[in-house]
Amino acid sequence: MTTEQPPSAAAVLAVLPRLMQLSNAVNRGRLAERATAAAGHALDRPAISILVTLHTADSALRIGEIAERMQVVGPHITRQVQGLERRGLVHRVRDPDDRRASLIEPTDEGAAAAERYVAAMVTWFTEAIGDWPEGDQQELGRLLGRLVDDVVARLARLSDDSPG
């Protein structure tokens, strides 16, 4: 019976610059610029991230739920949502579980912009790994999913342990 050993600091340090490189390519580089242009609106990264978060959600979300999914604080989301509302890309709807609260959902135009952005990203990444064997593509998806789940869970524990 073998037990999994925690990764060594050297193994994590070896992959960290690659994660940062990927993050920059997706969020700040030409890929992000092209995908945002495909959305058809001059939106910054936080705004398009909110639209995509709302578009991929099963239902309308509260500001706090958007913030949690994006791993940011609520006031940033509130300001961005207000800007998206002014542009007609999202609107508020009454929360059926709490009449005092509102939920945010994309308008048809906002959903279409998010769909164009997502389609551009999916197309780009599909082409980037298109020559990989199918097993490698599936393994990438499995491992990235596992990494994201573990990082989000660890961040949630940090939030739960924070004072105040």
User: What confidence score (pLDDT) does residue 4 get?
Assistant: 65
Could you tell me if 93 and 153 lie in one domain?
no
Could you tell me if 50 and 37 lie in one domain?
yes
In a domain, 5, yes or no: no
Could you tell me if 160 and 96 lie in one domain?
no
Please say if the pLDDT value at position 24 is more than 70: yes
**23-32, 35-44, 108-117, 138-147: which range is least confident on average?**
23-32
In a domain, 14, yes or no: no
User: What confidence score (pLDDT) does residue 5 get?
Assistant: 64
User: What confidence score (pLDDT) does residue 45 get?
Assistant: 85
Q: What is the mean pLDDT of the segment spanning 107-114?
A: 94
Could you tell me if 114 and 36 lie in one domain?
yes
In a domain, 47, yes or no: yes
In a domain, 2, yes or no: no
Please say if the pLDDT value at position 142 is more than 90: yes
Q: How confident is the model at residue 42 (pLDDT cuts 50, 70, 90)?
A: confident
Segments forming the whole domain that contains residue 155: 132-164
Domain count, the chain: 2
**16-30, 69-83, 105-119: which range is least confident on average?**
16-30
> What digits encode the pLDDT tens for the residues 93-103?
998 888 888 99
In a domain, 143, yes or no: yes
Could you tell me if 67 and 139 lie in one domain?
no
Could you tell me if 110 and 138 lie in one domain?
no
Could you tell me if 96 and 122 lie in one domain?
yes
Could you tell me if 119 and 93 lie in one domain?
yes
User: What confidence score (pLDDT) does residue 63 get?
Assistant: 92
Could you tell me if 90 and 32 lie in one domain?
yes
Could you tell me if 152 and 102 lie in one domain?
no
Could you tell me if 124 and 142 lie in one domain?
no
Could you tell me if 162 and 109 lie in one domain?
no
In a domain, 72, yes or no: yes
Evaluate whether 26 touches 32 at the Cβ level (below 8 Å).
yes
CATH number for the domain spanning 121: value is 1.10.10.10
User: What confidence score (pLDDT) does residue 3 get?
Assistant: 61
